[in-house]
Amino acid sequence: MTALRVFADAEAVARHAADQIAGRIGDARRDGRDVHIALAGGRTPQRAYELLAGIEGSWKHVHLWLGDERCVPEDHPESNARMVRESLYAQARAEPPSLHALPSPVVPEDAAWLYGLQLHAAVPQETFDIVLLGMGPDGHTASLFPGHPVLGVRVAPCAPVRESPKPPQERVTLTLPVLRRARFTLLLVTGAEKRAPLARALGGDRSLPVGLLVEDGLDEIACDAEAAPG
């Protein structure tokens, strides 16, 4: 059952996300184990990374992955890897964590295959400890868009995306089975334009990618007051 938590504004949502991630990193450190985290793109996750950098100390056992990435060079303004480096890395209090950026981003099929191999080799049972997700006004999450064939991928941990309805059109994304396997999955939703799709997803609309995760795959949704279903 997905828990819905409503916060006053986007800043409070980002703070909650940072606290949740920091707490689980601390638990892993006490247990002496590595922690694998799949990160989201977007403004609210970016703010969460800035806050997390100020909370967390040691990153030695932390491995960061990208829940999705645009097929652009790592220094491109649209690159999620660049965003993570400019937010979390730039403000890290200690040596920053390992970031597994997308290899060979020019061709999405090659990038997805290589990233999947990395994930399979490094992440035990292809199961992330934490997955952070955002949601678009169309109900997409990661780079899983409504009606896109990639929603049907059932075996590969990563999939190429072509003809994305949101530019850039070529991307790589984690697939639904990998998102569902995560030990803890947190969806961040902010802004009035997302109220209706969030309500639809919570109401059982499985035409929305987020709706496919609500029943089995999302542990918690943190939203601001503007996005909260009425």
Least Cα distance to 65 among 17, 133, 18, 12 occurs for: 133
Confidence of residue 127 (pLDDT cuts 50, 70, 90): very high
Residue 104 confidence (pLDDT):
74
Q: What is the mean pLDDT of residues 81-108?
A: 86
Contact status, residue 177 vs residue 142, Cβ threshold 8 Å: no
| 25-29, 52-56, 126-130 — most confident range | 126-130
CA dist 201 and 211 (Å) reads 4
Residue 148 confidence (pLDDT):
97
How does 134-150 read in b/e, with b if 16+ C-beta sit within 10 Å?
bbbeebbbbbbbbebeb
Given a cut of 80, whether residue 106 has pLDDT beyond it is: no
CA dist 203 and 68 (Å) reads 26
Beta-sheet pairing, 185-189 with 130-134: parallel
Residue 17 confidence (pLDDT):
98
Residue 97 confidence (pLDDT):
83
Residue 58 confidence (pLDDT):
77
Spell out the residues 6+ positions from residue 16 whose beta carbon is closer than 8 angstroms to its own.
5, 7, 222
CA dist 16 and 90 (Å) reads 21
DSSP notation for 129-169? SEEEEE--TTS-BTTB-TT-GGGG--S-SEEEE-S-SSSSS
Q: Which residue has the higher pLDDT, 226 or 103?
A: 226
Residue with tokens 């009425």: 230
Q: pLDDT tens for residues 179-192?
A: 999 999 999 999 99
CA dist 46 and 83 (Å) reads 7
On whether the 3-213 domain is CATH 3.50.50.60, my answer is no
DSSP 67: S
DSSP 141: B
Expressed in percent and rounded to 5, the helix, strand and coil fractions of the chain are 40, 20, 40
Least Cα distance to 181 among 129, 139, 122 occurs for: 129
DSSP 86: I
* C-alpha dihedral sign at 98, 33, 20, 53: negative
Confidence of residue 212 (pLDDT cuts 50, 70, 90): very high
Residue 160 confidence (pLDDT):
97
Residue 23 CB coordination number (10 Å): 11
Structure tokens at 225: 């007051």
